[in-house]
């Protein structure tokens, strides 16, 4: 009888202990309820606190460290945690201090007339009211242009600065186009498909056929040898000697276009 009563008591205690555990939605461990927050991550969450305190703390710390942002969502839903929610979930003072800086900066960034100093290493910033494009940092005296987000362009208005940049861009574009054209021409000069007319220098493409070529330019119509670019007039005058020494037609009596001399 006593043994039976002891078994019932043991069963009751096991049942009670089971009701005091909960599965974490992140690590999936079955943990005591005291390992969970007493309420969800945010006061706006509509679900139970099903993420253990350790996982919630790790979630918040990872969001802060990896993304360096002031917006942190609940690990169970898309609800955003406010400043107090993050403070409660974040047990590490240094991590929370970093979040606090992000949050403060996010608030300041929303101020229309506030601008941060652009100098590397300076953490200063200030309000610049009046729509002026010029700002001098109160912390380090760095001068910057608020319109162009760069160092102040001394001796130039913003309009003059824009004009100079536009001219530089156009010049660089033109120079780049010239370099590409020069490179293309150089490639074609060494090509067996493209060559320049020996008279007008127009590029001519040869895909098949004999080596007698005739420039298609209206004001040219020059006839020449494709192999060495010897002109028709030179071949009539000097015959095979008009061809380059390396030309395959140099020692032939018959010319590429059928002229026998």
Q: Is residue 82 part of a domain?
A: yes
Backbone φ and ψ for 60, nearest 5 degrees, come out as: -65, -45
| Number of C-beta neighbours around residue 178 at 10 A | 10
Domain range for 207: 194-242
The domain boundary, picked from 91, 117, 143, lies at 117
Tokens of 125: 């910033």
The domain boundary, picked from 117, 132, 159, lies at 117
Question: What pLDDT is recorded for position 153?
Answer: 94
Q: Is residue 43 part of a domain?
A: yes
Exposure of 60 by Cβ count < 10 A (0-12 exposed, 13-18 middle, 19+ buried)? Answer: buried
Question: What pLDDT is recorded for position 71?
Answer: 82
* CATH code for position 100: 3.30.40.10
Q: Is residue 259 part of a domain?
A: no
* Same-domain pairing of 108 and 198: no
Residue 43 near residue 87, CB atoms below 8 Å: no
3-class SS of residue 115 = strand
Helix or strand holding residue 238 (H, E) = helix 232-238
**Distance separating alpha carbons of residues 44 and 77, to the nearest angstrom:** 10
pTM exceeds 0.85: no
The domain boundary, picked from 83, 117, 151, lies at 117
pLDDT tens digits for range 179-236: 887 777 666 665 567 888 999 999 888 878 888 899 988 899 999 999 899 999 999 9
Backbone φ and ψ for 168, nearest 5 degrees, come out as: -65, -40
User: Interhelix angle for 93-109 vs 53-67, to 10°?
Assistant: 50
Considering only CA atoms, which of 172, 117, 123 is closest in space to residue 150?
A: 117
**Distance separating alpha carbons of residues 53 and 195, to the nearest angstrom:** 77
**Distance separating alpha carbons of residues 214 and 226, to the nearest angstrom:** 9
Please report where in the chains the tokens 């060494």 appear, as a residue.
190
Q: Is residue 156 part of a domain?
A: no
Tens-digit pLDDT string for the chain (261 aa): 545 544 654 565 555 555 688 899 999 999 998 899 988 999 899 888 999 999 999 999 888 887 666 688 999 998 999 999 999 888 888 889 988 888 888 888 888 888 999 999 998 888 887 777 899 999 999 999 999 999 999 999 999 999 999 999 999 988 888 888 777 766 666 556 788 899 999 988 887 888 889 998 889 999 999 989 999 999 999 888 889 888 888 875 545 555 444
Q: Is residue 80 part of a domain?
A: yes
Q: Is residue 186 part of a domain?
A: no
| Number of C-beta neighbours around residue 160 at 10 A | 11
Number of domains in the chain: 2
* Same-domain pairing of 113 and 23: yes
Q: Is residue 101 part of a domain?
A: yes
Q: Is residue 87 part of a domain?
A: yes
């Amino acid at each position: 009888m006593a043994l039976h009563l002891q078994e019932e008591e043991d069963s009751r205690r096991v049942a009670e202990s089971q009701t005091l555990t909960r599965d974490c939605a992140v690590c999936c461990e079955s943990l005591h309820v005291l390992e969970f927050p007493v309420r969800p991550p945010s006061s706006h969450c509509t679900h139970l606190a099903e993420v253990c305190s350790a996982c919630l703390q790790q979630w918040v710390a990872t969001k802060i460290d990896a993304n360096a942002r002031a917006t942190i969502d609940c690990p169970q839903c898309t609800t955003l945690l406010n400043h107090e929610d993050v403070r409660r979930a974040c047990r590490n003072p240094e991590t929370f201090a970093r979040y606090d800086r992000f949050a403060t900066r996010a608030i300041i960034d929303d101020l229309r007339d506030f601008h941060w100093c652009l100098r590397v290493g300076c953490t200063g910033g200030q309000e610049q009211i009046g729509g002026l494009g010029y700002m001098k940092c109160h912390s380090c005296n760095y001068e910057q242009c608020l319109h162009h987000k760069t160092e102040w362009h001394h001796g130039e208005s913003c309009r003059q600065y824009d004009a100079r940049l536009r001219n530089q861009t156009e010049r660089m574009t033109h120079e780049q186009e010239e370099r590409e054209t020069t490179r293309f021409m150089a490639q074609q000069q060494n090509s067996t498909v493209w060559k320049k007319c020996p008279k007008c220098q127009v590029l001519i493409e040869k895909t098949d056929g004999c080596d007698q070529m005739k420039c298609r330019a209206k004001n040219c119509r020059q006839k020449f040898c494709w192999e060495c670019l010897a002109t028709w007039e030179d071949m009539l005058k000097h015959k095979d000697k008009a061809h380059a020494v390396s030309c395959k037609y140099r020692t032939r009596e018959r010319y590429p276009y059928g002229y026998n001399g």
